[in-house]
Amino acid sequence: MKKITLIIIIIILVAAAAFFVWQRSQKRGPAVQTEIKDDTTSAIDEELESIDVGDLDKEFEAIDNDLKNL
């Protein structure tokens, strides 16, 4: 009797796990596609130049001082 109860519990757990996996796969929406505006070299260079990285010399100065103290 105990074996049958254990088998039934295992079957119920496997069925519940399969149901949850199926539900998760159903809730996924369509994949979002990003629009590529321009992939020419000049456009990429313009984008790279427009990125503000701050004052790197100042930031590296503090790191250099820390390294010298090691």
- pLDDT, one tens digit per residue, over 11-32 is 999 999 999 988 887 766 666 5
Q: Is residue 34 part of a domain?
A: no
Query: What integer pLDDT is reported at residue 37 of this predicted model?
Result: 66
pTM greater than 0.95: no
Q: Is residue 45 part of a domain?
A: yes
Q: Is residue 33 part of a domain?
A: no
Higher pLDDT, 4 or 54: 4
Its domain, for residue 7, covers 2-27+40-68
Q: Is residue 56 part of a domain?
A: yes
C-alpha distances out from residue 18 to 7, 41, 48, 64, 69, Å: 16, 49, 47, 56, 58
Q: How wide is the angle at C-alpha 10 spanned by C-alphas 6 and 14, nearest 5°?
A: 175
Question: Confidence band (pLDDT; 50, 70, 90) for 56?
Answer: confident
Q: Is residue 46 part of a domain?
A: yes
